[in-house]
Amino acid sequence: MKFLIVVRVIISYFPHNPESTIFRFIYDLTEPVLGPLRRIIPVPRSLPLDFSPILGYFLLELLESVLIRLIL
């Protein structure tokens, strides 16, 4: 999932067809994580940056770390 978030950020910098099968697949898999974060994090209109991928990546990293510690 973290890899797909990174891929989504990278492809957002290039022109692409959002209806393409591969892009739709990436968006459909990452949106359940990034969508709720976007609603929580206010985006100032003067600075149109989306910080939800950064926060989502770190939250998934934290969750992975906690789960690994619980298992071990």
**Nearest one of 55, 4, 50, 39 to 25, comparing CA atoms:** 4
pLDDT at 64: 95
Instruction: Output the six-digit token pair for 12.
Output: 């957002």
pLDDT at 10: 93
Give per-residue pLDDT as tens, 5-61. 999 999 988 898 888 999 999 999 999 999 999 888 877 777 778 889 999 999 999
pLDDT at 45: 74
